[in-house]
Structure 1
């Protein structure tokens, strides 16, 4: 299992982001749903947690076939999706991802939102109090950090005072090891070219409604209001020979999605700021219906890039039988005389079947 905690600050309050998050997630999902890939909402309903109170539970299918690397496409179905289940008890959320085809794959994301700049001191931050955070010169946000990011594409880690580091426990069970904490900067951290949009570049962003922006180097130390999304991501794919590569691939993509999503929430502030919870829920309902219809059209063949999975497909296994069994995939020894395929093939095979 590979676990990392991402901390992403935004020039918003936790109260504002309750609306902004809902708006951003639904607009982003709608924009990314095309060509057979995207998000299909299965359910979205009220729920109650014994500790966190009332909230919302959602279940979605996220179709990813065209976004997979070539080495991964070799052993997944033509139409591939993961199931997302999310429990939103704002300001605390839990999101889990599973895949019926890959039972050994699991992803869990726990999120806390707090009104601070990533220090987790649980106190309202005042401008004059921020300098108590000290940064190593080689990771200073205003100088070497940007160059370091361009070379390594990694976020910088601040060096916190000992008294603060001892209190950096966002999640209740145990603190995240310091080496596993990554700060993502929505201003300076690189995003993939395919996601970059000039009007979402926060160095040029100015909000007409709130008067905020643009962001400048060192903005986390002198911007008010400010909040932080603390996201602990646990990813597991326990398949020999594929575990490390797959878990790193998943974390890279989660990192990109988190960075782009939080940038968009800020860049789109003039679209959602001032909306009530009822209004944004109505927007959510409308956009989910449109997104589901878009996905339905693509999958049924009316879309230009629709793809249809055959009712029965057969492919040569790309891993050994032992690894396939660990993945929960049944195999057939076709060298067995009782096998109907024994006279034709002489190598182990993996069978996928589905009925339409």
Structure 2
């Protein structure tokens, strides 16, 4: 049986702000994960309602399940915000491997029971899990950073944070929630359950780290326009190919 989970992440921002924040965060992450012959290469970026992009990358987590010499992961992303869809495939394994993330962004506190309008058969197997950006236990070993701790960060532009109160998700304003339905298919006899569980565990950590970074970068993305983000994306895409042939720097300064 394919493992299907819906992750809910509440954020201290509006739905419109989150669109800007996630585009900024993705561009920043792409630059920081690219270099030394690995990372992100943008193959195509074209309109799809709001946008459609296609690329391929080699995130660290895939190396654990990828045969040696076959480290190429393809990603297709359709962004019709507030609804988004990402499909990851692994050409080496053909139709045996697929990771699908479908996301809806709503102005609520993780209270919508079927945000993605799932059919009854999917609802029957879906598991719902909440991810708190302030719970350090969500993080795998070695991924905690004090500079990316929402319990410590206060944005000077918005005066939001630190998110140190236990009930911040129930009381903060503004507020929105990302509903992420993650479907993992790994059709390989004897390994399916183990690999699907591993990918879910790893992606849960990715979601937690990403949203902690997003909040702690509020002063960087707050006030940016979509046009400024598009220009940043274009510049990032131009630089990625060169960076793939360079040593990976320890940090990219996005200040």
TM-score w.r.t. length of structure 1: 0.65
- The superposition leaves residues 11-46 of structure 1 with CA deviations (integer Å, 9 ceiling, x where unpaired) of 000011111110001101111223333221111111
Instruction: Give the one of 71, 81, 94 matched to 1:90.
Output: 81
CA distance in 2, matches of 1:36, 1:64: 12
Secondary structure of 1:254 counterpart: helix
CA distance in 1, matches of 2:60, 2:231: 30
Aligned CA-pair RMSD: 2.0
Residue 21 (structure 1) aligns with: 22
Aligned residues: 243
Written as runs of structure 1 = structure 2, the 5 A alignment for 1:45-56 is 45-47=46-48, 54-56=49-51
Structure 1 unpaired stretches of 5+:
48-53, 121-167, 305-356
Secondary structure of 2:56 counterpart: strand
Is it true that 1:180 corresponds to 2:127 in the alignment? yes
Is it true that 1:112 corresponds to 2:104 in the alignment? yes
2:4–2:126 Cα contact (<8 Å) kept: no
1:33–1:291 Cα contact (<8 Å) kept: yes
Residue 68 (structure 1) aligns with: 63
TM-score w.r.t. length of structure 2: 0.89
Residue 93 (structure 2) aligns with: 102
CA 236–274 in structure 1, closer or farther in 2 if over 3 Å, else same: same
1:6–1:232 Cα contact (<8 Å) kept: yes
2:70–2:92 Cα contact (<8 Å) kept: no
Structure 2 unpaired stretches of 5+:
249-255
CA distance in 2, matches of 1:118, 1:220: 9
1:106–1:236 Cα contact (<8 Å) kept: yes
CA distance in 2, matches of 1:98, 1:67: 11
CA distance in 2, matches of 1:65, 1:5: 23
Deviation at residue 179 of structure 1 after TM alignment: 6.7
Name the larger-Rg structure: 1
CA distance in 2, matches of 1:275, 1:189: 29
- The superposition leaves residues 127-185 of structure 1 with CA deviations (integer Å, 9 ceiling, x where unpaired) of xxxxxxxxxxxxxxxxxxxxxxxxxxxxxxxxxxxxxxxxx111223263587000000
2:86–2:102 Cα contact (<8 Å) kept: yes
Secondary structure of 2:50 counterpart: strand
Which structure ranks higher in relative contact order (CA pairs < 8 Å, sequence separation ≥ 6)?
A: 2
CA 268–177 in structure 1, closer or farther in 2 if over 3 Å, else same: farther
Is it true that 1:218 corresponds to 2:167 in the alignment? yes
Instruction: Give the one of 103, 114, 122 matched to 1:169.
Output: 114
Residue 252 (structure 2) aligns with: none
CA distance in 2, matches of 1:20, 1:280: 9
